[in-house]
Amino acid sequence: VELCVMACEKHATNNESAAKMIKETMDKKFGSSWHVVIGEGFGFEITHEVKNLLYMFFGGSLAVCVWKCS
């Protein structure tokens, strides 16, 4: 959660850069196969590993979805 907040604050005007920062950090720290989506007004249906999914809102309407899939 802290990583997502830091990335969204650092790259407030560029969601793609924030997502890339989160993905690279998660891949480095917890192994590969992490995926990140940041944006507004999206839906999703994904397959993920147990206990490896984070879905949160940042600053009101900006959603962050992070999951690991092998």
pTM, two decimal places: 0.91
Q: What is the token pair recorded at 25?
A: 């950090």
Which strands, in side-by-side order, build the sheet including 34-39? 34-39, 62-68, 53-58
Cβ count within 10 A of residue 36 = 22
Instruction: Please compute the mean of the pLDDT values over residues 7-23 and round it to a whole number.
Output: 97
With bands split at pLDDT 50, 70 and 90, how would you rate the model's confidence at 23?
A: very high
Fold (CATH) for 1-69: Protein Inhibitor Of Neuronal Nitric Oxide Synthase (3.30.740)
Over residues 42-68, the pLDDT tens digits come to 999 998 888 999 999 998 899 999 999
Name the CA dihedral angle for 35, 8, 2, 39, rounded to a multiple of 10 degrees.
-40
Q: Strands (DSSP E) along the chain, which ranges?
A: 34-39, 53-58, 62-68
Question: What is the domain partition of the chain in residue ranges?
Answer: 1-69
